[in-house]
Structure 1
Amino acid sequence: MKYIVCLENVNAAAYPLLEKWLQEKYEQQCAIRSRFGNYEEAHIKVFQISELSDWLRVYRSMKRQRCFYILILDRKWHHTSPLALKLQAHSLVLNPLKKSAFIRSVDDVLGMMQKNPAVLLQLEGKKVIASYQTAKNEPLENYVLRQLLHQTIQSENIMMDALSVFKENTFPNAVCYVEGFAHLDCDPADENRSAPLISSYFKTAFEGKVPRLYFVPFRKSMLVLFRQPESVCSLKDWEEGRRIFESIIHNLLKKHRIQIYIGVGSLYNDPHLLHYSFKEAELARSLPPFHEVSLRYYEEISKEPNIRKSTEFIHTHFGEEMTAKDVAKHVNLSYSHFIRLFKKETGNNFSEYVTFVRLRNGVRLLRQTNYTIEEVAEVTGFNTPNYFSSTFKKFVGTTPREFRLTREIVFV
């Protein structure tokens, strides 16, 4: 019996070279087929990865047929090599190709034909990691979501391949942006596992409420993506979802002394537009809340032109002295009309909103600079360091000095 080796997705430059190497050594053992042959009969598939869509084609091929896969990875896509582990490919060879590495991979696969297919992945013909360890690597779904959020998938064909990775009715249409820190009295064991602990609380709280949650680390933050129940049209109006978010925040703080903040984007059922929910969630996280400090919905941010103009002015001039009358004049509204409209649209009175903007920038300066508490208070527009400290304690739950000693949770 001859084993069938299919050169499934190999470009014109590499094809004759691989065909020659296979014929030279394996003419008696193997029959070579191109991708135009009957690939369903293949025992080994050689697949070249030259762009993102090729990973998706491998995934779809593996769903159709279980056989041995040797992947050839172009060097510009070397950073995606963990996907080979996730897909449990049997060998991974880097391109430009080395004959010795390719032949070692084929030899090893042929030697395993009579053995259990759960084998070790190879990199350049050397065994490096067992396939059962692949769960530690980023899921293929997460990789696809990253590409969508960074708008690197434009082609409709690639988009269709990308969506095939997800099970029916599980593709997310909403993004939450999560940040946090561990208080000084947090148990060291909880602090060390804070990221997986937060994820576990989300999983438990949302179980049975959404089809699936996806956790995508983003810089120091974490993105939580899910599909909104069909019966709900707006996340801010989803009362059950609001209660779930609030319970996660409350329980993490009460039981583990871990403080998290959540920004929630809008719903976008078109996959091409999912990145908008991501940007909205990130923005919501940074702006003053309508109700709760730890939970902010983008949909609650005012769209009224004069209020948007006024809040932009506040965010630009937060370190300066300003009054509601000053800002009302800036947007050409009467003082009385402005303060009523501002409260209605932002959920805060003018002084509350300004205070929060100043605190938010104070948090940034405490984390990112060596400014003294006095200097931070002055830069952010507080009259005295004591007033800054007491206000900070009220909203954040710790003094500025203590906050500087806390550890920011890094999800990446």
Structure 2
Amino acid sequence: MAYCVKLLVDDQEEKQKIETWLTHRSFKQLVVQDIDTICNDDILIMEINTPFDWVKARRLLKRHKDLLILPLLDPSILQTSPIAIELQLLSLFIKPITKHLFYRNIKKALSYSSRNKFALEQEESPIDELLLQNILKEGISAEKIETAFIKGMVPNVVYFIQGLVLSTTREEREGWQASSVIQKEIMKAFSIIGQDVYFLPFRKHLALALRVPSGISSPCYWEEGEKTIVELIDKLKHEYGIQLYIGVGSIHRELVGLKKSYQEARMARMSPPKYGLSLRYFDEIPTNISVQESIDYITEHYAENLSIQQVASQINFSPTYFCRLFKKETGHSFVSYLTFVRIQRAVWFLRNTNQTIEQIAFEQGFNTPSYFSTIFKKVVGLSPSEYRATKEVIFM
């Protein structure tokens, strides 16, 4: 079936790029035509430079119910992008348009006929992903952007997810992909408790945005959500050999606050856990200024022969008072906290260098390789050699 593509684009540089890309052999079913008339079933790439251009787009959709509009948005009015979701458009482009994004979205458009174009209402919208990407990376500021989300769910917290496949050959042998399995199981688990989720895959981690119900001040007090995550972690480990590590940001009532929640979730993921290694909350990170100063000192000098007296003196506390306060704020004794920081650094060397386990043990402040291996397994759940044999999950 042939499709007519029409370009309502004044920017000649962008228009020329699009016309060139449309000659690709993958798009032989597309016929580029002049913009004299617009018909049902056309694919219209429409430049959006002003808010009034959105009004034009709305009018066109009213007159041609099966028209597929792909807006080309000027960055100066990026804050208006939620209108694309309101209009239930398949996707949008932002100038300057890139070849990869153009090819991907044109192919997506071709996969929908006029009969099922609006079936997207029951699926996650690609524009949700675009908005999340801009919010988490750039921190978009737009009033009432919440109203743009289809399904009426406005996320207020971000989970930072990383994973390991314990067997490097199991994926290929059993015919599944860890990234897809994780996202599928997350969607399934949260749908049971009536929660919609949004994903934004980065290469080595997955950002998960969802909404903690009103009346709950912190994700760590959301019992239903924590139970869902804990059961999910257990299921993935036992059924697929996938180990998840998750950091959770704090709740932000405004959608634009998701960038901060994302940063907090990342920080929580990298912080020593107060309770469990697999699930850590930003709201459990110590806020006491003196304790933070001691943590900074430990982080900087972890490989040295640190003592409680030495760290306590840095913040002008007695060792006794420092131990009591540190335990209360972090959930760790000084020794266990220092040990975790050393193990955390050792994890990086195991993954990113060819150093022997013995070399890593000594460099991270452990007296013997056997003691290092014992403590490593106690903290991580795997021996150093087992951990080195795992594979990081790559999220696509």
Q: TM-score, normalised by structure 1?
A: 0.74
User: For residue 143 of structure 1, what is the aligned residue in structure 2?
Assistant: 130
User: For residue 108 of structure 1, what is the aligned residue in structure 2?
Assistant: none
Name the CA shift for 1:136/1:335 in 2 (closer, same or farther; >3 Å). Answer: same
User: For residue 197 of structure 2, what is the aligned residue in structure 1?
Assistant: 213
What is the letter of the counterpart of residue 240 of structure 1? E
1:278 CA drift (Å)? 0.4
SS in 2 for 1:411: coil
Given that 1:182 and 1:191 are in contact with CA atoms closer than 8 Å, whether structure 2 keeps it comes out as no
Any gaps of 5 or more consecutive residues in structure 2? Answer: 17-32, 40-51
Q: Distance in 2 between matches of 1:236 and 1:71?
A: 36
1:252 CA drift (Å)? 1.7
Q: Distance in 2 between matches of 1:265 and 1:42?
A: 44
Q: Distance in 2 between matches of 1:117 and 1:72?
A: 21
Q: Distance in 2 between matches of 1:12 and 1:185?
A: 49
Q: Distance in 2 between matches of 1:70 and 1:259?
A: 33
1:348 CA drift (Å)? 0.7
User: For residue 88 of structure 1, what is the aligned residue in structure 2?
Assistant: 109
Cα deviations across residues 122-173 of structure 1 (Å, max 9, x unaligned)?
xxxxxxxx9999x99982101110100112523x3xx54x544412541211
1:26 CA drift (Å)? 7.9
Residue 258 in structure 1 maps to residue 220 in structure 2 = no
Q: Which residue of 53, 74, 87 maps to 1:50?
A: 74
Counterparts of 1:255-404 in structure 2, within 5 Å, are 255-404=239-388
Given that 1:175 and 1:278 are in contact with CA atoms closer than 8 Å, whether structure 2 keeps it comes out as yes
Q: Distance in 2 between matches of 1:341 and 1:174?
A: 29
User: For residue 106 of structure 1, what is the aligned residue in structure 2?
Assistant: none
Given that 2:154 and 2:211 are in contact with CA atoms closer than 8 Å, whether structure 1 keeps it comes out as yes
Cα deviations across residues 382-402 of structure 1 (Å, max 9, x unaligned)?
111111111111122221112
Identity of aligned residues (%): 31
Cα deviations across residues 303-343 of structure 1 (Å, max 9, x unaligned)?
00110001111111111110111111111101110000010
What is the letter of the counterpart of residue 376 of structure 1? I
Q: Distance in 2 between matches of 1:327 and 1:186?
A: 45
Residue 117 in structure 1 maps to residue 114 in structure 2 = yes
Deviates more, 1:194-203 or 1:366-375: 194-203
SS in 1 for 2:280: strand
Q: Distance in 2 between matches of 1:340 and 1:380?
A: 26
SS in 1 for 2:297: helix
1:57 CA drift (Å)? 4.6
1:221 CA drift (Å)? 0.7
1:186 CA drift (Å)? 7.5
SS in 2 for 1:302: coil
Given that 1:304 and 1:345 are in contact with CA atoms closer than 8 Å, whether structure 2 keeps it comes out as yes
SS in 2 for 1:370: coil
1:55 CA drift (Å)? 5.5
Q: CA RMSD in A?
A: 3.9
Q: Distance in 1 between matches of 2:187 and 2:70?
A: 38
Q: Distance in 1 between matches of 2:187 and 2:252?
A: 22
User: For residue 41 of structure 1, what is the aligned residue in structure 2?
Assistant: 63
Name the CA shift for 1:28/1:378 in 2 (closer, same or farther; >3 Å). Answer: closer
Residue 180 in structure 1 maps to residue 166 in structure 2 = no
User: For residue 127 of structure 1, what is the aligned residue in structure 2?
Assistant: none
Q: Distance in 1 between matches of 2:160 and 2:259?
A: 12
Given that 1:310 and 1:330 are in contact with CA atoms closer than 8 Å, whether structure 2 keeps it comes out as yes
Given that 1:169 and 1:211 are in contact with CA atoms closer than 8 Å, whether structure 2 keeps it comes out as no
Q: Distance in 2 between matches of 1:368 and 1:217?
A: 22
Deviates more, 1:82-91 or 1:190-199: 82-91
SS in 1 for 2:150: coil
1:231 CA drift (Å)? 2.9
Higher RCO (CA-CA < 8 Å; seq separation 6+): 2
Given that 2:139 and 2:256 are in contact with CA atoms closer than 8 Å, whether structure 1 keeps it comes out as no
1:181 CA drift (Å)? 0.7
Q: TM-score, normalised by structure 2?
A: 0.76
What is the letter of the counterpart of residue 175 of structure 1? V
Q: Distance in 2 between matches of 1:169 and 1:252?
A: 29
What is the total number of aligned residue pairs between the two structures?
A: 354
User: For residue 153 of structure 1, what is the aligned residue in structure 2?
Assistant: 140
1:377 CA drift (Å)? 0.8
Deviates more, 1:36-45 or 1:233-242: 36-45
SS in 2 for 1:377: helix
Given that 1:210 and 1:228 are in contact with CA atoms closer than 8 Å, whether structure 2 keeps it comes out as no
Name the CA shift for 1:49/1:284 in 2 (closer, same or farther; >3 Å). Answer: same
Any gaps of 5 or more consecutive residues in structure 1? Answer: 18-23, 64-68, 92-115, 120-129
Q: Which residue of 224, 230, 253 maps to 2:214?
A: 230
Q: Distance in 2 between matches of 1:153 and 1:361?
A: 34
User: For residue 21 of structure 1, what is the aligned residue in structure 2?
Assistant: none
Name the CA shift for 1:42/1:372 in 2 (closer, same or farther; >3 Å). Answer: same
Higher CA-based Rg: 1
Cα deviations across residues 270-301 of structure 1 (Å, max 9, x unaligned)?
12211111011101111110001111110000
Given that 2:6 and 2:34 are in contact with CA atoms closer than 8 Å, whether structure 1 keeps it comes out as no
1:71 CA drift (Å)? 8.6
Given that 1:70 and 1:90 are in contact with CA atoms closer than 8 Å, whether structure 2 keeps it comes out as no
SS in 1 for 2:366: coil
SS in 2 for 1:81: helix
Name the CA shift for 1:181/1:72 in 2 (closer, same or farther; >3 Å). Answer: closer
